[in-house]
């Protein structure tokens, strides 16, 4: 076992990036990524692996036990161990990986950056959250006026300022358009803002000299709902015209949440305007808040999906290590022999089933996220070369995948963390091992940045409906073509057959649901989660089979650990297609038989 809780699956990350996606051919050395080659990318991953498995992972447990401090006067303090880990991250310039070279960064493509995000999130998710300021700088660089960029972009990057997204209000919850925070124009793009926001990650912390909030508020006279919202740059300390820090702004933390997990991550109530004037700058000088904020929301949603996959992968490695060491009970085949020797629990059938379930899902979630990241690579390159139409087409597929990455990964990872704990038996329930903290820290992933059902409704009524299902159909056809029967002996024949059947089940699911939606939208509400899971598991199965086909080819001449790795890839695909993919058939039957009696039931009967 490692010195600390985290072990990175660098081998599988490299397989995704360089063997399957081949970013050294499709991305690296092209356009804005022209200065990065394969050797540099691999060296980057190895360097970050070393940091994550040591200095970042070191404070994972201690920071959880110590938690944050709050003085009741707007100031949040972080555990010293966590600040030490954060300093190691910034001192080695890892925050600059996604920053373009023109802004002083390394210009890493999305594929490399999301792989890095997995590592940091797996080692210590609080650090990943506190590093959000870098992305806030990129949002401002993309959307703000020239003057706003001059004040904030370089300052955030060079001085490691923090950042947060400020949407939620207690009365509104996920209904963002019902928010009451208001904005009054003073002059030009300068506004005064009033309101109370809740559940604000990074609302305050003492490891940065300034924190830049992106706040949604409704200007005076604006229409109701989400369309009337505008987005504002609201710093903790006002930034003077020369870039220096001015007086404390009236965006003040008035409370912190006491959570079941992520105890080192500050989740705050942020009060605007009640403790001094709260000033903000209208982003870009335009009233287009919800569209602007979706740039932040979609980044956050994917990061949560990646975080869930990361913690599941970490849990798998911990469970695997324990199963290889823990000796308990005889081999089941010799259970009736009184003198049968005790064996390591990895020899027990149910433990092997549990481990393979963890392995194939962790690999599948990673594959799904990095496949989407590869689309993001290409979208960036296409936009830079003026090929907007093709970029838009790939953008629709990327948009289709985001609810899967966030919704499915966060929901399924929580379920499977219980399986990982089960491998440990009673030992998993105590704090000697990280399982209980994994479960506490990860549960929030299915709740914030839009609950699982919000992701499912987004998938069904926006991502699929907006082009009449064309993007979905194109993906299904690509999966079906990939699953077509091969001539001659095919070690993946059973998996391909299951994949073909699942494609037909998916088509039948949507055929049945489209008919039912004509009767009532309630059918969509009742079945959307099931649709999200069905499409997610089909996409993951497809990628696992694609990976396995490549592993069959590469494994012919491989030896030792490499041969074992490729055999594991093949086993993951077979197991997933045999054990998980039949879920689509069951979902098809449920959806085809769906009824509305639950919605007609008197609430007194509940």
Distances from the Cα of 393 to the Cα of 23, 153, 369, 535, angstroms: 20, 30, 18, 19
Whether 32 shows a pLDDT value over 70: the answer reads yes
For the cut 50, the answer to whether the pLDDT of residue 400 exceeds it is: yes
Regarding beta strands 211-219 and 162-166, do their DSSP bridges make them parallel or antiparallel, or are they unpaired? parallel
* pLDDT for the residue numbered 178: 85
Which pair of structure tokens corresponds to residue 245? 């820090």
Helices (H), 385-492: 388-403, 409-424, 435-442, 452-458, 470-482
What spatial distance separates the first Cα and last Cα of the chain, rounded to whole Å? 48
Other residues' Cβ atoms within 10 Å of the Cβ of residue 269: 17
* C-alpha dist (Å) from residue 459 to 97, 288, 396, 411, 543: 30, 23, 11, 15, 20
Confidence label for 1 from pLDDT (cuts 50, 70 and 90): very low
3-state secondary structure of 76: strand
Q: Calculate the CA dihedral of residues 403, 405, 406, 410 and round it to 10 degrees.
A: 130
Angle between helices 409-424 and 522-555 (to 10 degrees): 60
Backbone angles phi, psi at 415, to 5 degrees: -60, -45
Contact 461, 524 (CB under 8 A): yes
pLDDT in tens, 262-277: 999 999 999 999 999 9
Query: Where in 188-338 does DSSP place strands (E)?
Result: 190-201, 211-219, 230-235, 237-239, 245-248, 251-256, 267-272, 279-282, 327-330
- Give the torsion through C-alpha atoms of 561, 565, 570, 574, to 10 deg: 110
pLDDT of amino acid 604: 97
In this prediction, residue 552 carries a pLDDT of: 97
Q: How far apart are CA 371 and CA 286, in angstroms?
A: 34
Q: CB–CB of 523/464 below 8 Å?
A: no
Which residue among the candidates 55, 363, 449, 537 is catalytic per the annotation?
A: 449
Render pLDDT for 116-165 as a digit per residue (tens, 0 to 9). Answer: 999 999 999 999 999 999 999 999 999 999 999 999 999 999 999 999 99
- Give the global pTM: 0.96
173: pLDDT strictly greater than 80: no
CB 234 within 8 A of CB 280: yes
Q: Residues 442, 446, 450, CA angle at the centre, nearest 5°?
A: 135
Average pLDDT over residues 43-63: 98
pLDDT of 424-441, one tens digit each? 999 999 999 999 999 999
DSSP three-state, residue 131: coil
Mean predicted confidence (pLDDT) in 174-179: 84
Q: How far is the C-alpha of 401 from the C-alpha of 261, rounded, in Å?
A: 27
Local confidence band at 335 (pLDDT 50, 70, 90 cut-offs): confident
d(CA 181, CA 194): 6
Q: Over the stretch 92-111, which tens digit does the pLDDT of each residue have?
A: 999 999 999 999 999 999 99
User: If you search the block for the tokens 């009236």, which residue do you land on?
Assistant: 250
Rounded to whole angstroms, the Cα distance separating 186 from 535 reads: 49
Residue 128: how many CB atoms within 10 A of its CB? 23
Average pLDDT value over all residues in the chain: 96
The residue whose two tokens read 């903000």 is 280
pLDDT band at residue 176 under the 50/70/90 scheme: confident
CB 482 within 8 Å of CB 546: yes
Tell me, rounded to whole angstroms, the distance of Cα 163 from its chain centroid.
18
pLDDT of residue 306: 98
**Count of other CB atoms within 10 angstroms of residue 344:** 15
Q: Residue 603 carries which DSSP code?
A: G
- 194 part of the active site: no
Residue 2 above 60 pLDDT?
no
Type and span of the H or E element at 543: helix 522-555
Closest CA to 86 of 53, 116, 59: 59
Written as one string, the DSSP assignment of 307-327 is: HHHHHHHHHHHHHHHHHHH-E
Question: How remote is the C-alpha of 329 from its chain's centroid?
Answer: 39
């Amino acid at each position: 076992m490692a010195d600390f809780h985290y072990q990175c699956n660098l081998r599988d990350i490299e397989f995704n990036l360089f063997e399957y996606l081949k970013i050294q051919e499709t991305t690296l050395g092209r356009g804005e990524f022209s200065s990065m080659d394969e050797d540099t990318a691999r060296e980057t991953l190895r360097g970050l692996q070393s940091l994550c498995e040591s200095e970042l992972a070191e404070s994972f447990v201690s920071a959880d036990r110590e938690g944050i401090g709050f003085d009741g006067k707007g100031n949040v303090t972080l555990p010293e161990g966590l600040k030490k880990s954060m300093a190691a991250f910034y001192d080695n310039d890892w925050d600059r990986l996604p920053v373009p070279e023109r802004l002083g960064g390394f210009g890493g493509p999305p594929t490399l950056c999301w792989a890095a995000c997995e590592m940091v999130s797996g080692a210590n998710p609080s650090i990943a959250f506190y590093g959000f300021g870098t992305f806030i700088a990129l949002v401002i660089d993309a959307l703000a006026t020239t003057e706003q960029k001059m004040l904030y972009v370089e300052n955030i990057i060079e001085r490691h300022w923090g950042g947060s997204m400020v949407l939620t209000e207690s009365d509104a919850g996920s209904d963002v358009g019902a928010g009451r925070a208001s904005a009054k124009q003073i002059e030009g793009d300068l506004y005064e803002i009033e309101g109370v926001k809740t559940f604000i990650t990074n609302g305050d912390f003492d490891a940065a000299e300034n924190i830049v909030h992106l706040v949604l508020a409704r200007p005076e006279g604006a229409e109701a709902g989400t369309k009337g919202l505008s987005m504002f740059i609201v710093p903790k300390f006002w930034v003077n015209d020369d870039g220096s820090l001015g007086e404390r702004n009236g965006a003040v933390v008035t409370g912190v949440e006491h959570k079941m997990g992520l105890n080192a991550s500050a989740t705050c109530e942020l009060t605007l305007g009640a403790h001094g004037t709260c000033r903000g700058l209208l982003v870009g000088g335009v009233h287009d808040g919800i569209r602007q904020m979706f740039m932040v929301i979609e980044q956050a949603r994917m990061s949560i999906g990646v975080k869930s996959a990361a913690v599941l992968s970490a849990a798998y490695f911990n469970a695997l290590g324990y199963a290889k060491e823990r000796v308990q009970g005889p081999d089941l085949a010799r259970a009736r022999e009184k003198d049968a020797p005790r064996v390591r629990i990895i020899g027990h059938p149910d433990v092997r089933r549990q481990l393979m379930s963890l392995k194939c899902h962790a690999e599948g979630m990673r594959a799904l996220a990095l496949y989407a990241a590869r689309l993001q690579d290409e979208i960036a390159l296409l936009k830079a070369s003026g090929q907007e139409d093709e970029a838009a087409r790939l953008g629709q597929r990327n948009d289709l995948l985001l609810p899967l990455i966030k919704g499915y990964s966060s929901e399924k990872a929580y379920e499977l963390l219980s399986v990982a704990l089960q491998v440990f038996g009673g030992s998993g329930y105590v704090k000697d091992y990280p399982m209980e903290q994994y479960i506490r820290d990860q549960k929030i992933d299915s709740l914030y940045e839009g609950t699982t059902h919000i992701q499912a409704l987004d998938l069904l009524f926006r991502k699929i409906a907006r082009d009449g299902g064309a993007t979905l159909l194109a993906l299904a056809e690509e999966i079906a073509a990939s699953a077509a029967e091969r001539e001659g002996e095919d070690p993946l024949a059973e998996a391909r057959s299951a994949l073909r059947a699942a494609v037909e089940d998916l088509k039948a699911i949507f055929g049945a649901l489209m008919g039912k939606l004509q009767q009532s939208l309630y059918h969509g509400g009742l079945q959307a989660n099931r649709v999200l899971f069905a499409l997610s598991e089909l996409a993951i199965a497809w990628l696992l089979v694609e990976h396995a086909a490549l592993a069959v080819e590469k494994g012919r001449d491989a030896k030792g650990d490499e041969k074992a790795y490729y055999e594991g890839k093949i086993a993951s695909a077979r197991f997933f297609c045999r054990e998980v993919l039949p879920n689509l058939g069951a979902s098809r039957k449920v959806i085809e038989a769906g009824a509305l009696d639950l919605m007609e039931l008197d609430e007194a009967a509940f």
